[in-house]
């Protein structure tokens, strides 16, 4: 999506979602700033999370993500969205 990002992360037992996203945001901001010869934050503070508890939850989440660009009328088919990356093993659940 042009104004936000959806991602699914599997954390280890000792990993923190907040710390993981802090590192992700820092690294990607640095790379984008290097690429565009700019500086500063590119991310809004905070994030919205959702815990996936079952295969049905996971399938529902990925279907939402997959069809979000279609609903926003950015493409006519989800397969046309160039930024969609879902691993093959996830497609088996959909």
pTM for the model stands at: 0.76
- How far apart CA 39 and CA 87 sit, in angstroms, is 32
- In the predicted structure, residue 88 carries a pLDDT above the cut 70: no
User: What is each CA distance from 30 to 23, 24, 35, in whole angstroms?
Assistant: 11, 10, 9
Task: State which H helix or E strand residue 38 sits in.
Answer: none
In this predicted structure, what is the pLDDT of residue 91?
Answer: 62
Q: What are the pLDDT digits (tens) for 15-71?
A: 999 999 999 999 999 999 999 999 999 999 999 999 999 989 988 998 999 999 999
Higher pLDDT, 10 or 71: 71
């Amino acid at each position: 999506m042009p104004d936000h990002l959806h991602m699914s992360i599997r954390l280890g037992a000792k990993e923190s979602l907040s710390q993981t996203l802090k590192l992700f945001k820092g690294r990607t901001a640095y790379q984008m700033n290097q690429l565009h010869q700019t500086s500063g934050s590119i991310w809004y503070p905070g994030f919205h999370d959702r815990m996936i508890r079952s295969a049905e939850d996971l399938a529902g989440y990925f279907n939402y993500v997959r069809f979000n660009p279609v609903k926003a009328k950015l493409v006519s088919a989800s397969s046309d969205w160039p930024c969609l990356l879902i691993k093959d093993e996830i497609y088996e659940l959909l």
